Amino acid sequence: MDAPAVNSESEDSNHVEAGYEQSLPGGGSVAARLRSNGEWGASFRHEVEDVGIVSGGLNSQLDWNLDLNTKSPLTGTLAYTLQTRPVTLQALMDGQQYALAAHSGRKSIAATLGRPNEEGQRSSQVQLQLGQVAATVKMEGSSKPRLRLSKIVL
């Protein structure tokens, strides 16, 4: 249990915090903490044989994280789509790029950021589409951005 410093002038000085950590069989741990102001947090860490270390946490603000630190490179794609009215949001991450997009009817905006190549340079692209007209700005490494206007045939 941690008690605040007697002469502390910070906002945290009026709160007491308690924490607990437990080792897990096979490696890893779980932990929790609770503060007297109602804030709390929980976390875990576990080593997965031949893959790496998985860790994550959740707190009273419902902020969460999940991490995988691998022993060797992994390949795959992680994609997420959120459909709300009137907008659909999409996020994608794979071994080559990160991408975000928002679509609403015949309007959309999308951005792509490539992973760094051997020289540390990235490619990037932003596209705005309104009806049948699209504007795309593309940049490869340290080259100058290129703008392309096009008409989309439906």
pLDDT at 51: 80
Rounded Cα distance, 47 and 69, in Å: 9
Give the pLDDT score at 94.
Answer: 86
pLDDT at 55: 93
Contact between 124 and 114 (Cβ < 8 Å):
yes
- Closest CA relative to residue 39, chosen from 1, 12, 5, 7: 12
The domain locations on the chain are 15-70, 77-151
Quote the distance between the C-alpha of residue 122 and its chain's center. Answer: 19
> How confident is the model over 33-56, as a mean pLDDT?
91
pLDDT digits (tens, 9 = 90+) for 57-103: 999 988 888 888 887 766 778 899 998 889 999 999 988 899 999 99
Q: What is the pLDDT of residues 10-33, one digit of tens each?
A: 455 678 999 999 998 888 999 999
Residues 6+ apart with CB under 8 A from 126: 109, 110, 111, 112, 136, 137
Structure confidence at residue 7 (pLDDT): 47
Residue 117 has a pLDDT of 84
146 has a pLDDT exceeding 60: yes
pLDDT at 8 over 50: no
pLDDT given for residue 46 in this prediction: 92
Q: What is the pLDDT of residue 11?
A: 53
The 3-state secondary structure of 23-80 reads ECCCCCEEEEEEECCCCEEEEEEEEECCCEEEEEEEECCCCEEEEEEECCCCCCEEEE
Do residues 28 and 16 lie in contact, with contact meaning Cβ atoms separated by under 8 Å? no
pTM for the full model?
0.52
Question: Which helix (H) or strand (E) is 116 found in, with range?
Answer: none
- Report the mean per-residue pLDDT for the chain: 87
